[in-house]
Structure 1
Amino acid sequence: MSRRPVEGRKQQHFLCREDREPIWLAGIWTERPDDKTGCAVLTEPARGVAKDIHYRMPLALDVESLEPWLDSHQTDRETIRHVVHHLNAELITHWLVSTLVNRPSNEGP
């Protein structure tokens, strides 16, 4: 994740859970009439340490929300809002990484 400038340049950050468990991101997927598929990761206003980096962040779900989120029969927005919950923002940490990250012209470890 990057955005907040450091010394006038965008600075890359690595975000993860403090306990290093996976962060489950909410996404949507659909088939389109042209036989292609479309997908997107949902975002929300930044919470916790992510607010120090950017104004928005991917919607991270707590583990109990995975089954209801992935239930293909669950399509009612209000029901989804009641059964799906955010990951506690206090579980997320971050650190700075090299500005070489996220540039296709850079190769190497």
Structure 2
Amino acid sequence: MTATPEEILEFLSVIDIDDFPKRYNIAPTQPILLVVAGEKMAPGSNLPERRAVLARWGFLPGWVKDPKDFPLLINARAETAIGKASFRAAMRHRRVLVPASGFYEWHRPSKEEGGKAQAYWIRPRNGAVVAFAGLMETWSSADGSEVDTAAILTTHANASIAPIHNRMPVVIQPQDFEQWLDCKTQEPRDVEHLMQPAQADFFEAIPVSDLVNKVSNMGPDVQTPVEPSVKLKAGAPAKPGSDQLSLF
């Protein structure tokens, strides 16, 4: 997330947002920025105000007793989130937007291709902020403390991302923000059609070094372009693997 607060305010129409530093390498369990529908109505509008909040990247359903015994859910499959026990309640009541400047993903070559894994910085071609579909849950511990947690919805990759990985984040377009965030009148089945891959020309993928693989590397140099170790084959799907995105 390297956009300025002013850019996020304009793109997502949130009522206010705290200043924050640019973050070039956000890892699971770290805080991520979310946009949620507020309870109050926006002045001069019949739409709820949108608020910006921070949440832990790593979803915890409310029924989890001990987080140590539960896997780290950084993503949720769009195809099954409506019915899956972990995400069912959040799909109905706590849909959010996750603003980002882009995401990282790894291409892991097949034996036939040879070479080592290659990291890619994947961003909107127009350089603007993008809003991913997200789910939020507030988890309460036995001592009464609470933590807001979140996951990002993913779907099958479009033609441009498929050579890198078989999954990609769900992108919510600006004209659909209101419907996605409206959990009062819009049930999960009403927004199911929004959870589709972005158009093939929406993102561009830039090969970067493995600096991004270390959380301690947080500067802009993680996005410096490099020569890829293996040239991607246009239209060739990535080798099937985990449904969880590797990096973000």
Q: Separation in 2 of the partners of 1:26 and 1:107?
A: 24
Q: Separation in 2 of the partners of 1:11 and 1:31?
A: 35
Equivalent of 1:17, from 109, 114, 124?
124
State the shift of 1:81 in Å: 2.1
In the other structure, the counterpart of 2:147 is 36
Please state which structure has a larger fraction of its residues in strand: 1
Q: Separation in 2 of the partners of 1:33 and 1:75?
A: 26
CA, structure 1 residues 74+26, in 2 after alignment: closer, same or farther (shift >3 Å)? farther
- Alignment TM-score, normalising by the size of structure 1: 0.80
CA, structure 1 residues 107+62, in 2 after alignment: closer, same or farther (shift >3 Å)? closer
Equivalent of 1:5, from 108, 116, 131?
108
CA, structure 1 residues 67+5, in 2 after alignment: closer, same or farther (shift >3 Å)? same
State the shift of 1:85 in Å: 5.9
CA, structure 1 residues 62+88, in 2 after alignment: closer, same or farther (shift >3 Å)? farther
Please state which structure has a larger fraction of its residues in helix: 1
1:61 paired with 2:168, answer no
CA, structure 1 residues 106+18, in 2 after alignment: closer, same or farther (shift >3 Å)? closer
Cα deviation 1:65-99 (Å, max 9, x = unaligned): 112112231451211125x3644232211110112
- Alignment TM-score, normalising by the size of structure 2: 0.39
* Counterpart code for 2:159: G
Q: Separation in 1 of the partners of 2:139 and 2:186?
A: 18
% same residue:
25
SS in structure 1 opposite 2:213?
coil
8 Å CA contact 1:43–1:56 kept in 2: the answer is: yes
Structure 2 alignment gaps of length 5 or more:
1-103, 222-248
* Counterpart code for 2:127: R
SS in structure 2 opposite 1:26?
strand
8 Å CA contact 2:105–2:164 kept in 1: the answer is: yes
Structure 1 alignment gaps of length 5 or more:
none
SS in structure 2 opposite 1:79?
helix
Aligned length in residues: 108
8 Å CA contact 2:179–2:186 kept in 1: the answer is: no
8 Å CA contact 2:105–2:122 kept in 1: the answer is: no
State the shift of 1:106 in Å: 4.4
Q: Separation in 2 of the partners of 1:49 and 1:74?
A: 35
SS in structure 1 opposite 2:180?
helix
